[in-house]
């Protein structure tokens, strides 16, 4: 064999390596399997924002999948993504427990997994790099602060009575928001009493019915905390129909209907959670993990307080 | 009519022996036997009133009936379908569809055109189901279970997953169906009462009504009597669709905006109310009046449990216990005894 051939071979291998290296550094292939796009505007907007953010970044190539709310399909999608040898997988779990074996499989194949929006169960934590999403406990405690501050302004923080309409029983988001609210309220406003909590199941009509019963049962209601704005607006409708003015409504996940009611001055405050921020945070977390940066295990994106006073700083939610 | 229906509903030895000796029941006994569900209703009302004196507050009663009106209107149509011997599990999805469509068209065409367009679309869905069950003789459980998910998908596709809201909530007259009142009575209650009277008379007093009972009670006999069964079943699904469209109209008008899952799960509540009212799942028995009582029982149970302040985890269980108790009281009163094992 001539040295010439050897030299050609060496150059070839070297350039191939260089090329591959450059390609690796240039594009990362990130796969995402979402929960159920199309079922609500939050998830629809999330997907659009995710694709837009990925397209804006020339280093990122994505495989965007949707499980349609079906655990079995999501597990199959995880396996597909592992087969395709993507560099990282983002998962919006359809079920916090059932997807763990599939997540472990990806972990064993050395593919980092990032969970987005709602976390998986704790026994799966060893197999994921990071959770990117909203901090529902903080959302609950911030809602308590919004409510308390308003009562102090009105001078009724020494006697106010409130009711709570929570999300669907059994949902982590519902439980965490209620816990954050109930823990924080006595710290900031010890003399405000939470007289009763009933679930509104994330449903506007159901909350309206629950609120109607509250209004019959209690002559004096100063505030209503609801697990999201959709339910809050249901409660507001009930109060308006009964002619009970002056009730302070505070919610979470600011929806367009909540934003509009806030503009009219009927609804006091909420927590601004943007699906766009949610999607961008998930993609950024995956990129940071791939770049070897130090990413906190619970990587929360900020969900600020929004009230009638500061709402001009926020654009109206699209959902 | 009710004599015939109660016989077809209870082809048990106990029922037959009751029928053979009706004189011994006496006036009170006969009343109990025929209106057992009404007695059960009265008992619950008394119980809840003792537990919380505000239960009988006129505002509360009006509120409960208004909230029940949506479920009630749907139950009226389903009563026809059930008496004709079929099921309709698609009403929840169809109600979401009606609500979303009318809200969407409100902003595009204006309310005056949106309402008839929505009715036309929902009636088409009803006609399609009626065609499958009546003319292709497919099993109604399978057809409407399939339609439950198909129409849900249709609604999601139509709305693109978005909540539907009317842009100008202050400047529309569309809220009359859900939020206004005539002579102090909320319009949803009036619509419910109007439909209940109309459909009640149709079912009890017209030839068509008798055909519905005949088709559900004994299909073969109905055919030999010259009844075109397919046409009757088809019409029942049209009536059901009409009721669902009205429920969607009230729902949309009540909150002028909606999630696209608004009717999800209502099909079972509707069915519970219809059965609670004594309609037989085998067909051939039931009345509009008793369905209305069934709807009110469900509405007042939910309201009563909230007023009592029961932990909500327990409410699901208690609701179920009360429904079973009511059905048992009703059946026991009809049979004239509490204990009747399958012989």
What ipTM does the predicted assembly reach? 0.70
Tens of pLDDT, residue by residue over A193-209, are: 999 999 998 888 889 98
For tokens 């597909």, what's the residue? A80
The shortest CB-CB distance from A40 to any of B57, B161, B257 is to B161
Position A116 confidence tier, pLDDT thresholds 50, 70, 90 = very high
Ranges of CATH 3.40.50.2300 domains, chain A = 3-134+275-302, 136-272
Give the total residue count for chain A: 319
Query: In angstroms, rounded to a whole number, what is the distance separating the alpha carbons of residues A282 and A275?
Result: 10
| CB-based contact A50:A64 (threshold 8 Å) | yes
* C-alpha distance from A201 to closest chain B C-alpha (Å): 11
Check CB contact of A233 with chain B, cutoff 8 Å.
yes
Secondary element (H or E) of residue A223: strand A223-226
Distance of CA B292 to the CA centre of its chain: 8
The shortest CB-CB distance from B303 to any of A38, A43, A213 is to A213
Dihedral sign, CA of A260, A263, A265, A270? Answer: positive
CATH 3.40.50.1110 matches A3-134+275-302: no
* Section B249-268 average pLDDT: 88
Secondary element (H or E) of residue A140: helix A136-154
The total of other beta-carbon atoms located within 10 Å of residue B47's CB is: 13
Indicate the pairing of strand A223-226 with strand A193-199.
unpaired
How many Cα atoms sit within 13 Å of B277 on the Cβ side?
Answer: 28
* Section B171-183 average pLDDT: 89
| CB-based contact A235:A211 (threshold 8 Å) | yes
DSSP helix/strand/coil, A274: coil
DSSP letter string, B46-60: HHHHHH-GGGG-HHH
Identify the residue among B72, B73, B158, B162 best suited for mutation to test binding to A, counting A beta carbons within 10 A and taking the highest. Answer: B162
DSSP letter string, A156-197: -TTT-EEEEEE--TT-HHHHHHHHHHHHHHHHH-TT-EEEEE
In CATH, the number for domain A136-272 is 3.40.50.2300
Domain boundaries, chain B: 26-335
Tens of pLDDT, residue by residue over B42-87, are: 888 898 899 888 888 888 888 889 889 999 999 999 999 999 999 9
Query: In angstroms, rounded to a whole number, what is the distance separating the alpha carbons of residues B123 and B237?
Result: 9
Top-confidence residue, B44 or A92: A92
Listed range (A3-7, A22-26, A96-100, A124-128) with the worst mean pLDDT: A22-26
The shortest CB-CB distance from B312 to any of A199, A204, A257 is to A199
* C-alpha distance from A199 to closest chain B C-alpha (Å): 7
| Neighbouring-strand partners of residue A29 | A61
Query: In angstroms, rounded to a whole number, what is the distance separating the alpha carbons of residues A109 and A97?
Result: 20
Q: What percent of chain A has pLDDT over 70?
A: 92
- Across the interface, whether the CB atoms of B255 and A234 are under 8 A apart is answered yes
For all residues of chain B together, what is the average pLDDT? 86
Task: List, in sequence order, the alpha helices (H) in chain B.
Answer: 2-9, 13-20, 26-34, 36-51, 58-83, 91-109, 111-130, 140-159, 176-179, 187-205, 207-217, 219-224, 229-255, 266-276, 288-308, 312-335
Q: What percent of chain B has pLDDT over 70?
A: 90
| CB-based contact A82:A110 (threshold 8 Å) | no
Tens of pLDDT, residue by residue over B99-119, are: 999 999 999 999 999 999 999
Q: In A, which residues are within 8 Å of B179 by CB distance?
A: 241
Residues with Cβ within 8 Å of residue A150, at least 6 apart in sequence: A223, A248, A250, A268, A269, A307
In CATH, the number for domain B26-335 is 1.10.3470
CB environment A136-159: b (16+ within 10 A), e (fewer): bbbbbbbbbbbbbbbbeeeebbee
Check CB contact of A284 with chain B, cutoff 8 Å.
no
Q: For the range B313-317, what are the long-range contacts, defined as Cβ-Cβ under 8 Å and sequence gap of 24 or more?
A: B313/A169
CB environment B179-211: b (16+ within 10 A), e (fewer): beeeeeebbbbbbbeebbeebbeebeeeeebbb
Query: In angstroms, rounded to a whole number, what is the distance separating the alpha carbons of residues A28 and A158?
Result: 56
| CB-based contact B211:B234 (threshold 8 Å) | no
Question: What tokens does A163 get?
Answer: 């009711």
């Amino acid at each position: 064999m001539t040295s010439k051939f050897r030299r050609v071979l060496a150059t070839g291998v070297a350039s191939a390596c260089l090329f591959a290296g450059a390609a690796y550094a240039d594009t990362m292939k990130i796969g995402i399997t979402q929960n159920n796009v199309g079922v609500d505007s939050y998830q629809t907007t999330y997907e659009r924002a995710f694709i837009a953010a990925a397209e804006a970044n020339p280093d990122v190539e994505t495989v965007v999948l949707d499980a349609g709310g079906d655990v079995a399909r999501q597990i199959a999608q995880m396996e597909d993504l592992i087969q395709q040898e993507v560099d990282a997988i983002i998962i919006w779990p359809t079920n916090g427990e059932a997807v763990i074996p599939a997540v472990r499989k990806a972990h064993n194949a050395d593919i980092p997994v990032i969970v987005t929006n709602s976390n998986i169960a704790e026994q799966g934590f060893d197999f994921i790099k990071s959770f990117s999403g909203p901090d529902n406990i903080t959302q609950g405690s911030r809602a308590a602060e919004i409510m308390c501050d308003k009562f102090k302004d009105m001078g009724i923080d020494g006697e106010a009575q409130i009711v709570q309409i929570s999300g669907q029983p059994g949902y982590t988001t519902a439980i965490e928001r209620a816990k954050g609210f109930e823990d924080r309220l006595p710290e900031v406003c010890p003399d405000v009493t939470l007289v009763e909590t009933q679930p509104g199941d994330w449903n506007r009509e159901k909350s309206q019915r629950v609120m109607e019963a509250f209004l019959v049962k209690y002559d004096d209601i100063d505030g209503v905390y609801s697990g999201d704005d959709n339910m809050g607006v249901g409660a507001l409708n009930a109060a308006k129909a009964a002619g009970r003015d002056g009730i302070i409504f505070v919610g979470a996940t600011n929806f367009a209907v909540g934003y509009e009611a806030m503009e009219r001055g009927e609804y006091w405050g909420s927590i601004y959670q943007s699906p766009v921020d949610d999607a961008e945070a998930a993609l950024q977390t995956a990129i940071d993990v791939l770049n070897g940066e130090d990413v906190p295990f619970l990587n929360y994106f900020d969900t600020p307080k929004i009230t009638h006073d500061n709402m001009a700083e926020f654009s109206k939610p699209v959902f | 009519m009710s004599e015939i229906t109660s016989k077809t509903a209870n082809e048990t030895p106990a029922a037959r022996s009751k029928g053979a000796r009706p004189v011994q029941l006496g006036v009170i006994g006969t009343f109990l036997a025929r209106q057992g569900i009404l007695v059960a209703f009265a008992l619950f009302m008394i119980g809840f009133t003792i537990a919380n004196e505000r239960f009988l507050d006129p505002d509360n009663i009006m509120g409960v009936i208004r909230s029940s009106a949506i479920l009630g209107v749907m139950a009226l149509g389903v009563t026809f379908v059930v008496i004709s011997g079929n099921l309709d599990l698609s009403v929840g999805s169809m109600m979401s569809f009606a609500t979303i469509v009318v809200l969407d068209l409100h902003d595009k065409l204006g309310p005056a055109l949106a309402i008839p367009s929505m009715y036309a679309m929902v009636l088409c869905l009803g006609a399609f189901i009626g065609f499958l069950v009546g003319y292709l003789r497919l099993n109604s459980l399978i057809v409407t279970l399939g339609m439950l998910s198909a129409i849900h998908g249709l609604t999601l596709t139509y709305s693109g997953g978005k909540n539907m809201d009317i842009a100008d909530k202050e400047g529309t007259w569309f809220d009359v169906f859900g939020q206004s009142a005539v002579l102090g009575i909320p319009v949803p209650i009036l619509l419910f009462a109007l439909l209940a009277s109309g459909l009640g008379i149709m079912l009890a007093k017209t030839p068509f009504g008798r055909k519905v009972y005949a088709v559900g009670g004994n299909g073969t006999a109905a055919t030999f009597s010259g009844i075109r069964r397919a046409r009757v079943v088809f019409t029942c699904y049209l009536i059901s669709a009409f009721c669902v469209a009205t429920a969607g109209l009230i729902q949309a008008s009540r909150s002028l905006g909606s999630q696209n899952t608004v009717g999800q799960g209502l099909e079972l509540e509707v069915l519970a109310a219809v059965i609670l009212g004594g309609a037989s799942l085998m067909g051939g028995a039931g009345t509009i009046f008793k369905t209305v009582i069934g709807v009110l029982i469900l509405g007042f149970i939910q309201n009563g449990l909230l007023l009592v302040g029961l932990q909500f985890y327990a409410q699901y269980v208690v609701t179920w216990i009360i429904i079973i108790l009511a059905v048992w009281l009703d059946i026991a009163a009809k049979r004239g005894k509490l204990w009747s094992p399958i012989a």
